[in-house]
């Protein structure tokens, strides 16, 4: 723990959805859901307007449509989001050489290492300046948490949402955490929370009162000891720059233990795609794929597979993770899944798809029997980022070309975006980020005057998705 709140945590507000609203004037102030639109699609991000209907990330898209039938449902534009993320990360880099990205829209910053803060007042000034710079550069908002540790900085940014700043003064941790639900502590998901509740422990203060020995008895040595330290406010983890990372990984703890084998595989594939997104964002590739499975009884299994060479290809990582899952017994339920890549390198092996072919021919069958195309290119890459998004093998060419939310340009009407398509027609709304809400027009899907386009910058003079 530091004596000054010089660790900053930034979390952009509903990032994907907010970027879409900023890009599309007709959607501002309206519910927007971004994710895979196919039958197996899941929500990547929901705008705050959509969250009022109960829509949240990782929710099946079919359920989201039932909750918010009038929302705008869009496929993700990851090149666009990466371009905006690059602008944000550049601003963070001006604050300190120690920036630890967690995803496209979230990062820790060591303000002390950058020499911009050594007490609460200077840290708050740096945080407020960052928020203003992000808004001026991208047109989007982010929430900032400041504290003496990473755990508390992240808690603070969550409390700051949306579009705010919360600073936790060192020395107030115990008072702040004590009355809170034990679920506020990192690593305490629904299953751990329920396990503790049955033991009469529901608040952080009760965790401290129980003592380390009791927590170890309840949760095991590593988990119990870690929980006790966190409850006391102790978190000495340093901010580590991404270039120093030895591995990249993502994991999810589920509200309800997963039992269905197909659902478990879908989650593993989704995590693999997210992991590759982080891997590419860090400028690395890796040769060892790691699968982590925490079962219903808190036992944790780790399986790994080392490839012939480093990769950052989503097909290779996804199929390797799926193969690793085949060797894991998930009977009884799964509460956590994780996928990681280690053995990082700054280059990628040329014959990446040879690895995929060696694992199972040129195309690998997915869990629903659909063969996924093993081809490269930005359109396939973006579709693969979210389960259920259109893929080259599962969508007709016209539907794939005119996915809802994608950018287009018409020779007569100028730039716009696809609202929907089907039955040989495509509906386009013609507007720009800096214009008023635009007019909707419908065209044949093969209209020669209509073609895909690069995203327009949110702020005049800003970067576009084409640069990502």
Average pLDDT over residues 255-276: 92
pLDDT for 81-107, tens place per residue?
Answer: 989 999 999 999 999 999 998 888 999
Q: Is the pLDDT of residue 355 over 80?
A: no
d(CA 186, CA 180): 13
Phi, psi of 226 (to 5 degrees): -65, -45
pLDDT of residue 463: 57
Burial of 377 (0-12, 13-18, 19+ CB in 10 A): exposed
pLDDT for 128-172, tens place per residue?
Answer: 999 999 999 999 999 999 999 999 999 999 999 999 999 999 889
Please give the positions annotated as active site. 106
Of 393 and 161, which is predicted with more confidence? 161
Instruction: Show me where the domains of the chain are located.
Output: 178-231, 246-369, 397-467
Pick from 70-74, 104-108, 396-400, 460-464 the range whose average pLDDT is largest: 70-74
d(CA 81, CA 464): 9
pLDDT of residue 429: 97
- CB atoms near residue 384 (< 10 Å): 24
Token pair belonging to 140: 């989007």
Sign of the C-alpha dihedral computed for residues 380, 279, 98 and 184 taken in this order: positive
- CATH code 3.40.190.10 for 178-231: no
Q: Is the pLDDT of residue 356 over 80?
A: no
d(CA 5, CA 109): 11
Superfamily of domain covering 246-369: DNA polymerase, Y-family, little finger domain (3.30.1490.100)
**Closest by CA position to 452, among listed 382, 389, 385:** 382
pLDDT of residue 91: 96
Percentage of the chain lying above the pLDDT 90 cut = 60
Distance set, CA 56 to CA 33, 43, 68, 376, 377 (Å): 9, 7, 11, 31, 30
pLDDT of residue 406: 94
3-state SS of 21-56 is HHHCHHHCCCCEEEECCCCCCEEEEECHHHHCCCCC
- What pairs with residue 106 in β-bridges? 11, 103
Percentage of the chain lying above the pLDDT 70 cut = 85
**Which residues, 6 or more positions from 349, have their beta carbon under 8 angstroms from its beta carbon?**
285, 308, 309, 310, 311, 355
d(CA 295, CA 219): 13
**Closest by CA position to 401, among listed 425, 371, 433:** 425
d(CA 347, CA 442): 45
Q: Is the pLDDT of residue 47 over 90?
A: yes
List Cβ<8 Å contacts ≥24 apart for 187-190: 187/223, 187/226, 187/227, 187/230, 188/227, 189/253, 189/254, 189/255, 189/335, 189/336, 190/253, 190/254, 190/255, 190/256, 190/335
**Banded model confidence at residue 236, pLDDT cuts 50, 70, 90:** confident
**Banded model confidence at residue 214, pLDDT cuts 50, 70, 90:** very high
pLDDT for 7-33, tens place per residue?
Answer: 999 999 999 999 999 999 999 999 999
pLDDT of residue 461: 63
Q: Are 292 and 338 in contact (CB under 8 A)?
A: yes
What value, to the nearest 5°, has the Cα angle with vertex 144 and ends 125 and 338? 145
pLDDT of residue 71: 97
Flag whether the pTM goes above 0.75.
Answer: no
pLDDT of residue 353: 31
d(CA 436, CA 6): 41
d(CA 446, CA 9): 47
pLDDT of residue 374: 23
Q: Is the pLDDT of residue 371 over 50?
A: no
Q: Is the pLDDT of residue 65 over 50?
A: yes
Per-chain mean pLDDT for the chain = 84
pLDDT for 426-440, tens place per residue?
Answer: 999 999 999 999 999
pLDDT of residue 352: 32
d(CA 215, CA 309): 43
Q: Is the pLDDT of residue 398 over 70?
A: no
- What pairs with residue 258 in β-bridges? 334
């Amino acid at each position: 723990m530091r004596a000054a709140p010089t660790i900053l945590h930034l979390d952009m507000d509903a990032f994907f959805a907010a970027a879409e609203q900023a890009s599309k004037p007709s959607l501002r102030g309206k519910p927007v859901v971004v994710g895979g639109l196919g039958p197996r699609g899941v929500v990547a991000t929901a705008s705050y307007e959509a969250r009022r209907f109960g829509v949240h990330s990782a929710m099946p898209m079919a359920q989201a449509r039932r909750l918010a039938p009038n929302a705008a449902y869009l496929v993700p534009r990851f090149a666009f989001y990466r371009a905006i993320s690059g602008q944000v990360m550049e601003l963070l880099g001006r604050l300190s050489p120690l920036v630890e990205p967690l995803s496209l829209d979230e990062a820790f910053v060591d303000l002390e290492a950058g020499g911009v803060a050594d007490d609460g007042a200077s840290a708050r000034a740096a945080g407020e300046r960052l928020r203003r710079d992000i808004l001026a550069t991208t047109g989007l908002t982010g929430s900032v948490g400041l504290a003496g540790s990473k755990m508390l900085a992240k808690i603070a940014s969550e409390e700051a949402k949306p579009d705010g700043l919360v600073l936790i003064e060192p020395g107030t941790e115990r008072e702040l955490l004590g009355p809170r639900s034990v679920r506020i502590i990192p690593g305490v998901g629904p299953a751990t929370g329920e396990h503790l509740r049955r033991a009469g422990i529901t608040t952080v203060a009760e965790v401290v009162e129980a003592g380390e020995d009791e927590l170890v008895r309840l949760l095991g040595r590593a988990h119990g000891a870690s929980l006790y330290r966190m409850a006391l406010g102790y978190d000495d983890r340093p901010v580590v720059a991404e270039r120093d990372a030895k591995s990249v990984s993502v994991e999810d703890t589920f509200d309800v233990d997963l039992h269905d084998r197909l659902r478990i595989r879908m989650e593993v594939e989704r995590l693999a795609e997210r992991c590759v997104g982080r891997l590419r964002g860090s400028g690395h590739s890796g040769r060892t794929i790691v699968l982590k499975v925490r079962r219903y009884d808190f036992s944790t299994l780790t399986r790994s597979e080392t490839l012939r060479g480093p990769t950052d290809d989503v097909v290779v990582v996804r199929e390797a993770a799926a193969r690793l899952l085949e060797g894991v017994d998930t009977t009884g339920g799964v509460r956590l899944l994780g996928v990681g890549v280690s053995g990082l390198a700054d280059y990628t092996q040329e014959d990446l798809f040879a690895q995929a072919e060696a694992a199972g021919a040129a195309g690998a069958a997915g869990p629903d029997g659909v063969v996924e195309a093993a081809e490269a290119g930005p359109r396939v890459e973006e579709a693969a980022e979210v389960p259920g998004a259109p893929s080259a093998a599962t969508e007709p060419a016209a539907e794939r070309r005119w996915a809802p939310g994608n950018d287009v340009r018409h020779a007569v009407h100028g730039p716009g975006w696809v609202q929907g398509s089907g039955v040989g027609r495509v509906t386009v709304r013609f507007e720009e980020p800096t214009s008023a809400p635009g007019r909707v027009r419908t065209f044949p899907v093969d209209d020669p005057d209509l073609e895909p386009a690069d995203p327009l910058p949110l702020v005049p003079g800003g970067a576009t998705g084409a640069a990502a």
